[in-house]
Each structure stands twice: as structure tokens, then as C-alpha cells.
Amino acid sequence: MSSFEYNGNPSRVIFGSGSIQKLPAELARQKLSSPIIVSTPEQTSHAELVRDILSKAKDGPVAAAGIYSKAAMHTPAHVTEDAVAFSKKSGADSVVSIGGGSTTGLGKAISFLSGIPHVVIPTTYAGSEVTPVLGETKDGKKTTKSDPKILPGTVIYDVDLTMSLPPGLSATSGVNAIAHAVETLYSRTTSPITNLFAIEGISALANSLPIITSTDASDVPARTAAQYGAWLCGVCLGTVGMALHHKLCHALGGSFNMPHAETHTVVLPHALAYNVAAMPDDLKARLAGALPGSDGDPVKGLNVLLTRLGVKRGLKEFGLREEDVDRAAEIATSNPYWNPRPVEREKIRELIRRAWAGEEAR
Ligand code: NAD
């Protein structure tokens, strides 16, 4: 085994069906009594559920300071400013966010800027809840910062809240999680420990997502396995540096306003096909082993998975124009992340073109 460094992120995790009911006790444990609850407009009912649980709690004097339900994709700076002002005015001593990565991002921003603790209740598979990373969009430009203070203190994974995630979004959000783990396996900063998380997370998601999309979106064991896998993949994202795939998706999301999870889903097989030859053989074999139907080839395994999930395969289906391919290649190759294989502009252009056209990765 070669030498490595490992930095674990100290999250407290409460996992299981019905665990949202443990929120009042968790806040009381931290001597917090008046959280602001954050959600998107679409998930106001989830925020109200949290408020009602707090109001009926027997675990100490906990009551919501208010609900802020204007979270939006890519954490726009003007929303953050408004939310921080709302939080301060309400006298909140903590923030509880309930939703996907967009809501978690706003919760992180409020917590970081106001210095109040953050409890996250994730309802997608994005993984932001276990990373110390915060994205922000201002004047059309997306930037990210990393700081240990951004990492939420407690995560409550309650599978019941994922049941309403539509099968299509479950599929793409799950593949978004798989992307974190795939890039971990060839990351410069990975370790045997992080690789364990990655393989276990990919396997849990690759086996459960097809059940959610094709058999029964309310299958409790499948939903539980998917959430477990998403947590492990999120830990990977928060622990090691990402590479080409995340750089491509960052460029496409930030500069072309492409949808987050869907873009990850289209790009991942192409990014893996680009990097697979630079992967250590043992990890390549373990990745293939985690993907049913791979026949020992992880790129084939991903192609099989995406076919089973029935997801869209072309960036053009999400509004990217053919004439954008050049500029996307330019942005993705300027100031590139570290990557196991050299990032060459013409080859990346061809990768993006294939992903744009919806051609199968190879
Ligand atoms: P999202 O949070 O934007 O959610 C998409 C939509 O689904 C929203 O309308 C949301 O309210 C709804 N939704 C979420 N859960 C639901 C449920 N259980 N039932 C019904 N509807 C539900 O999507 P996402 O993919 O989770 O997050 C994407 C954002 O997260 C991007 O901005 C991305 O940059 C960020 N992100 C950040 C990190 C990080 O570490 N900082 C990691 C991953 C993603």
C-alpha cells in the first residue's frame, strides 16, 4: 500500500426511517431553541412539517424562529443576503435546512455568515450535507469556497422524506452521487479508506436506483440503500479533490445554466472513458465489480446503468447548443483541476461534443 494522508470531516449522522422526529432532541442536545427553517418554494410543506414537529416536541423549549422558503439552484448571492437578514431579524440561534443541494447550500451560507449551527435534512442524493464546500453565484459567475466552518454539524437522513423525489430526479441525483465516488477512485488525494466509501456507495446506488425508477419508487429497502449510498458518496466529495468530470460539470452549470444532476448524469460516462486508462488496475476492477452488467469494463457498467435508468443522454436535450461546445471546452480546459490524464483541449472538445450529441461513451 502506498503512503497517504486522510482528513475525515466530523459530521454527526442520524440515519433511519422516521429520524426527522429526533430533530427536537438533537437541537436540545446542542442547547439550541429557535432555528430558522430553510427550503425551496417547492418544499414549503417539508419546512412546515419541521415546524410542526418542533411545535409538538416534548424535548425542551424548541420553536421555529421562522420559515425561509426561497432557496434556489446554485446559491444566488442576493437570496443569501435576503436569507441572512431574515435569519437575523427572526433572532434564530440555528438553521435547519430541508431539501436538496440547493437548500443545503443556502443553509450553509446562512450558518457560515451568521456563525450559527446548521442541521441538514437532505431529501435528494446530492451529498452537499457532508462537505465543507459552498458554491455561490454572483453576476452570472459561480465560485466555490471551502472552509471547515461550512461543514454542517448534524445530518438527519430520513428515508421517508425521499419518497416524494420523482423517479427521474432520483435517477439523476443518484448518478450525481456516483460521480463523486468515481472521481474519488482516481483522485490524487484518495486513500484506501475513501476508496472503501466510494465502492460501497456506488454499489448501493447502482443496485437500488433501477428498482426506484423501474419497479417501485416507494420501495423502502431500495430508497434506504440509495440514501446510504448517497451519504457515502457525499463523504468522498467532501474528503478528496475532484477531477475532470467535476470541472466539466462546473463549467456547464456555471456558464451555460445547465441543470446540475442531469448534467452530471450525461457527462459521467464520458469523463470516466477519458480517465479509465489512467486508473490503477485494482480500482478499475473494483469499480466494474460495483456496477452490474459491466463485464469487467466500468464504462460499460455506467452505460448499462444509465440505459436501465432511462435518463436523457445528450446535453442538447437540456438546451446546450452545438456552437456552445467550443466555449465549453475553452472554459473546462482553462485553469483545469488536477486530472490523472493530461487535459488536452481537442480531446476535451470531442468529449463534450459526444456528450452534447448523446452518443454512447467509449
Ligand atoms: P435541488 O436541491 O436544486 O432540488 C431540485 C428540486 O427538487 C427542487 O425543486 C427541490 O425542492 C426538489 N426536491 C428535493 N427533494 C425533494 C423531494 N424529496 N421530494 C420532492 N421534491 C424534492 O437539486 P440537487 O441536485 O439536490 O442540488 C443541486 C445543487 O446542489 C446545485 O446548486 C449544486 O451545485 C449543489 N451541490 C453542492 C454540493 C457541495 O458540496 N457544495 C454538492 C452537491 C450539489
Question: 3-state SS string over 263-294?
Answer: HHHHHHHHHHHHHHHHCCHHHHHHHHHHCCCC
165 CB less than 6 Å from ligand 1? Answer: yes
Which residue has cell 456516483? Answer: 178
Look up the pTM and report it: 0.96
173 CB less than 6 Å from ligand 1? Answer: yes
pLDDT for res 46: 98
Does position 74 have pLDDT exceeding 70, yes or no?
Answer: yes
Q: Which residue has the higher pLDDT, 336 or 311?
A: 311
Hey, whose CA ends up nearest to atom 28 of ligand 1?
101
182 Cα: distance to centroid of ligand 1 (angstroms): 20
Percent of the chain with pLDDT over 70: 99
Q: What is the mean pLDDT of residues 97-114?
A: 98
Architecture of domain 12-162: 3-Layer(aba) Sandwich (3.40)
Query: pLDDT, tens digit, for every residue of 259-290?
Result: 999 999 999 999 999 999 999 999 999 999 99
Pinpoint the residues of the chain covered by CATH 3.40.50.1970: 12-162
Pinpoint the residues of the chain covered by CATH 1.20.1090.10: 167-357
Mean of all residue pLDDT scores within the chain: 95
Q: What confidence category does residue 60 fall into, taking pLDDT thresholds of 50, 70 and 90?
A: low
Inter-residue contact 184 to 190 (CB < 8 Å): yes
Q: Which atom of ligand 1 is nearest to the CA of 125?
A: 26
346 Cα: distance to centroid of ligand 1 (angstroms): 32
Fold exhibited by the domain 167-357: Dehydroquinate synthase-like, alpha domain (1.20.1090)
| Rg (the chain; Cα; Å) | 20
Distance CA 81, CA 341 (A): 40
131 CB less than 6 Å from ligand 1? Answer: yes
Q: Which atom of ligand 1 is nearest to the CA of 238?
A: 40
